[in-house]
Chain A
Amino acid sequence: MSKDVKTPMLDDLEKGAWPSFVKEIKTAAKKSNTAHDLLGILERSYRDKVTHWKHGGIVGVLGYGGGVIGRYCDLPEEFPGVAHFHTVRINPPSGFYYTSKAMKELCDIWDKYGSGLTNLHGSTGDMVWLGTQTDKLEPIFAEITAKGWDLGGSGSCLRTPSSCVGKSRCEFSNIDTMDICHTLTHKFQDELHRPAFPYKFKIKVSGCANDCTAAVARADMSIIGTWRDNIRIDQAEVKNYASKMNIAEEIVGMCPTKCMSFDGGALKINDKDCNRCMHCINQMPKALRPGKEQGATIMLGGKAPIVTGALMSWVIVPFMKLEAPYDNLEDLIRKLWEWWDEHGKNRERIGELVDRMGMRSMLESTGLPPVPQMVKQPRTNPYVFWAPGEVQ
């Protein structure tokens, strides 16, 4: 542990109304040298305006290729408590529900072996335990698995899948997002723990087009619930809403497909023209509900900028029924991975591979038919490929 260092800049961030992460580090520092030295090195970064963490080394637990991020600081003599500052990713339960008993057990394990600092949750959705040393990794793993927990993904593997609350609390959800997330996580344990892909692969599951997990932006495979039949309407509740809001302006007037009308009495929807955007249902949940023929749109390719620019996922299956045990979805995912493994370059995300190889290569190898829902519009250029046999 370093000597007590002054941290005037961080101290300033204890003030103010918003909850303070500095207060949390200081709380942890009362019990942990690692947390104590994190304060010192972080204050140094605040002064220098650069990070003091180096590239990670390869550390982990026996038999897994991921789940732990190796981290070392560049000032180990000054801040020996953070010479090693590895991160452990714990796979959370779907929907992020916890019992206090389970959470307290995890806290006891983390206090015993690490800094006592965590992120709930990291960007992919893992519970992130920040700051431990290489020799603590196996003991941590033994203790968490004894309590029924496992590590999440890191590196070029399936990252920990994540979902919204879905049917556990949301009436909008068209699919059982939490169960899909849980089932896929278990089907793909090998792909999650033993990196064998060209690069990372993320799956997120949202129950409706509101997309509360940001699947379209943050996942290579975005599973987004929708329905195909008619919106269910309770006209008595429409009347109740009419006394609280301007339905003509706020609902009918903001409908993107102009598929609705309201004469002051009943709300009429031409479901054939509705594109199921969720605006009216969001505003009048008591009066309007998604239809009963429910399933999901499957989209592919979402990712952050590195390397060829940020992408949002695009449609590869407009509507898929999703019922346990979701073998149809598993089958599609495995075919996509096979195509990606075959053609992908090192550190090429699956969306970038579609960009490089074209949709046709992916569609042919997965057996998905080309359908108009995949495009905003057909191509405008005349540079069209014809496969051998297509020209008679």
Chain B
Amino acid sequence: MLCQVCKERSATIHLTEIDNGQRSESHLCQQCARQQGLSIKSQVPLDELMNTLLSSQQEKASQQDKPSIAAASDHACPNCGMTLERFAKTPLLGCAHDYTEFQSELLPLIKQSHNGKSHHRGKVPTRTCEYDRNEIQRNTLRRQLDRAVKNEDYEAAAKLRDQIQALT
């Protein structure tokens, strides 16, 4: 059966509506159903979802021709260096701070994969961790240190090591 809207793709969504005792049936394909605002519960893999999200952002950026938004995909977490582009490929994040750093991009994705929910219910650790303000800075320095050692820039490495120690 073909979709009754586009008459091209095959209909996979079959909807029966009863309005004022009047029964009507519609047969739609996924795309047309989505355009009509029907929610379709399907299990879209996270990486696919993430890619759609990213490409729509890039589209927006190129439409508005604003380099600041285009740069969003280069935006790296200061703590772990993760970018959204890299995340879209795996899709795994690099550290707990990514959830804060990329909050606006991740939240819609989180809601989509958890049936609209975005607030935890259930177990809470008895001892919640004190937020360590130095942690992010320390990790940034640590990554710079790794890079310096790899490049055999031992002078810079020594400086970075001192800075890390001063923070601890």
Co-assembled chains A and B: no
